[in-house]
């Protein structure tokens, strides 16, 4: 007889034997008739006894990835900049679109990864100057730092572990960083191309409302874009920040920034800065509060800097707050005695005015350093939910010798279109500078619309 036929007959006979014997088994007698029927059917059906197919690796991976977080931002802006006097003989204008898409993986044993790509597209006819970008150097035009760009703006791996609101975290890779208000280190959220840092950062929550952060920075990817002639200078920079917080009252920061460039072209910008900052608000009642900021920093030469630097930084702000409105009087002092003995902030975006004329602490034949006195008023617009208006008036003068630079008026209006989405914002920004002994009269304005996911 054929061996295969014998095997099949044996298998059928064995199955039939099990089916006929099942009702007389001891286990079956302890079950209900319904349970016995289900077991009998399963025993007679080879397909029912087959193991369930395992979830494929691709399916498991896709299910895991769907638990991650996607981030997205798009912002269209049309910006115009006009300056009087030579060498400027025309108005600069730049219509640009920013697209940024990022993804963060779910955490596995505390580890996660994040990557973000950024593109800046010049969407129409444009005419502006970018001194750091060889293809966009037009000295007869005012400077707008929004070059076309396509780059990996962030890419890092992080690890975090915490319990009972105490956390330790390590982040390694390209990332956006800010020290306090961004005066000495920041990534410039207003410009279309954000700055980022190749860095390793350690954060720890400590007892008694203290937090500690140490960051080592290897490269700074500047806002001028990856094609800029000095777009990503190498450095060995250390940042230390110890913060103490008393909720709804004060935040105190003691910090040190040791900036050491590796290229001779930037040696003169290598400095060590040590500072103390206090800011917060004192609540008198549910409606009224006192808003304040006080900061002092000392900056000296460091590393390969061939010059002697010994300068001070002061910042003071104070004023009332009422139901979302605030009015603050402020004074910012950036010391400067000469072109080489001058407080510098090369890792930060522009401060002191939206015309960006004081992009750097000025040094010229008429004076060195900067003192900026200002009044800042900001608050929501009644009957237009989601709208906020801001007005700032500046008066500028030098540190040494004492010279009056000029005055500036800035204003802005932003509106979140809440009827459609809180993530959609439209706005307008305007700055006008009246020159006295530095620069020339200037007007800078922009309109924008943005959406953030």
The answer to whether residue 49 scores a pLDDT higher than 80 is no
Residue 76: how many CB atoms within 10 A of its CB?
A: 18
Q: pLDDT tens across 333-369, in order?
A: 999 999 999 999 999 988 899 999 999 999 999 999 9
The answer to whether residue 312 scores a pLDDT higher than 60 is yes
Minimum mean pLDDT range among 24-33, 109-118, 302-311, 443-452: 24-33
- Report the run of H or E that residue 10 belongs to, with start and end: helix 3-21
Enter the pTM of the model. Answer: 0.85
The backbone torsions φ and ψ at residue 65, rounded to the nearest 5 degrees and listed phi first, read: -65, -30
Minimum mean pLDDT range among 21-35, 203-217, 239-253: 21-35
Q: How confident is the model at residue 233 (pLDDT cuts 50, 70, 90)?
A: confident
d(C-alpha 36, C-alpha 25), whole Å? 10
Q: How confident is the model at residue 64 (pLDDT cuts 50, 70, 90)?
A: confident
The answer to whether residue 235 scores a pLDDT higher than 50 is yes
3-state secondary structure of 3: helix
Q: How confident is the model at residue 56 (pLDDT cuts 50, 70, 90)?
A: confident
Inter-residue contact 160 to 110 (CB < 8 Å): yes
Question: pLDDT at position 124, please?
Answer: 87
Of 285, 185, 267, the C-alpha closest to 230 is: 267
Minimum mean pLDDT range among 3-12, 89-98, 154-163: 3-12
Q: Assess if residue 284 is contained within a domain.
A: no
Q: How confident is the model at residue 204 (pLDDT cuts 50, 70, 90)?
A: very high
d(C-alpha 90, C-alpha 215), whole Å? 43
d(C-alpha 262, C-alpha 174), whole Å? 18
Q: Assess if residue 241 is contained within a domain.
A: no
Q: Assess if residue 12 is contained within a domain.
A: yes
Q: Assess if residue 11 is contained within a domain.
A: yes
Average pLDDT, the chain: 88
CA atoms within 13 A on the CB side of 112: 16
Q: Assess if residue 33 is contained within a domain.
A: yes
Inter-residue contact 424 to 448 (CB < 8 Å): no
Catalogue the E-assigned strands of 42-85.
69-83
Q: Residue 17's domain spans which residues?
A: 3-44
More confident residue, 58 or 244: 244
Inter-residue contact 115 to 155 (CB < 8 Å): yes
Q: Assess if residue 18 is contained within a domain.
A: yes
Q: Assess if residue 340 is contained within a domain.
A: no
Inter-residue contact 65 to 430 (CB < 8 Å): no
Inter-residue contact 142 to 81 (CB < 8 Å): yes
Of 318, 312, 324, the C-alpha closest to 279 is: 318
pLDDT over 70, % of the chain: 86
d(C-alpha 450, C-alpha 442), whole Å? 26
Minimum mean pLDDT range among 29-38, 237-246, 321-330, 354-363: 29-38
Q: Assess if residue 29 is contained within a domain.
A: yes
More confident residue, 62 or 358: 358
Number of structural domains (the chain) is 1
């Amino acid at each position: 007889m054929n061996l295969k036929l014998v095997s099949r007959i044996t298998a059928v006979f064995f199955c039939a034997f099990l089916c006929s014997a099942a009702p007389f088994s001891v286990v079956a007698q302890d079950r209900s008739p319904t349970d016995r029927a289900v077991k009998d059917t399963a025993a007679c059906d080879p397909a029912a006894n087959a193991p369930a197919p395992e979830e494929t690796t691709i399916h498991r991976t896709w299910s895991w990835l769907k638990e991650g977080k996607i981030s997205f931002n798009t912002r269209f802006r049309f910006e115009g900049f006009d300056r009087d006097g030579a060498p400027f003989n025309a108005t600069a204008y730049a219509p640009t679109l920013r697209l940024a898409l990022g993804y963060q993986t779910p955490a596995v044993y505390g580890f996660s990864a994040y990557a973000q790509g950024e593109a800046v597209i010049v969407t129409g006819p444009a005419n502006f100057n970018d001194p750091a970008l060889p293809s966009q150097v037009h000295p007869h035009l005012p400077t707008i730092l929004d070059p076309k760009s396509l780059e990996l703006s962030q890419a890092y791996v992080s690890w975090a572990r915490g319990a009972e609101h105490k956390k330790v975290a390590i982040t390694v890779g390209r990332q956006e960083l800010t020290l306090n208000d961004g005066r000495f280190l920041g990534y410039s959220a207003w410009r279309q191309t954000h700055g980022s840092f190749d860095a390793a950062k350690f954060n720890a929550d400590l007892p008694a409302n203290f937090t500690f952060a140490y960051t080592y920075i290897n490269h700074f990817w500047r806002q001028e874009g990856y094609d800029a002639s000095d777009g990503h200078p190498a450095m060995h920079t250390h940042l230390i920040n110890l913060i103490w917080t008393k909720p709804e009252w004060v935040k105190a920061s003691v910090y040190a920034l040791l900036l050491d460039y590796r290229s001779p072209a930037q040696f003169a910008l290598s400095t060590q800065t040590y500072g103390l900052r206090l800011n917060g608000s004192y609540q008198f009642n549910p409606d009224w509060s006192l808003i304040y900021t006080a900061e002092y920093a000392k900056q000296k030469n460091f590393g390969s800097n061939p010059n002697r630097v010994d300068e001070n930084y002061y910042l003071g702000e104070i004023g009332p707050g009422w139901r979302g409105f605030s009015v603050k009087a402020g004074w910012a002092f950036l010391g400067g005695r000469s072109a080489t003995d001058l407080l510098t902030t090369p890792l930060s975006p522009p401060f002191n005015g939206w015309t960006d004329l004081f992009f750097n602490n000025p040094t010229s034949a008429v004076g060195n350093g900067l003192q900026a006195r200002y009044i800042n008023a900001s608050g929501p617009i009644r009957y237009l939910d989601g709208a906020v208006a801001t007005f700032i008036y500046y008066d500028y003068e030098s540190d040494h010798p004492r010279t009056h630079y000029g005055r500036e008026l800035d204003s802005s209006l932003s509106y979140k279109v809440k009827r459609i989405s809180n993530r959609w914002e439209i706005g307008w920004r305007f700055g006008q500078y009246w020159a006295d002994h530095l620069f020339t009269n200037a007007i800078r304005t922009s309109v924008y619309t943005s959406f953030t996911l």
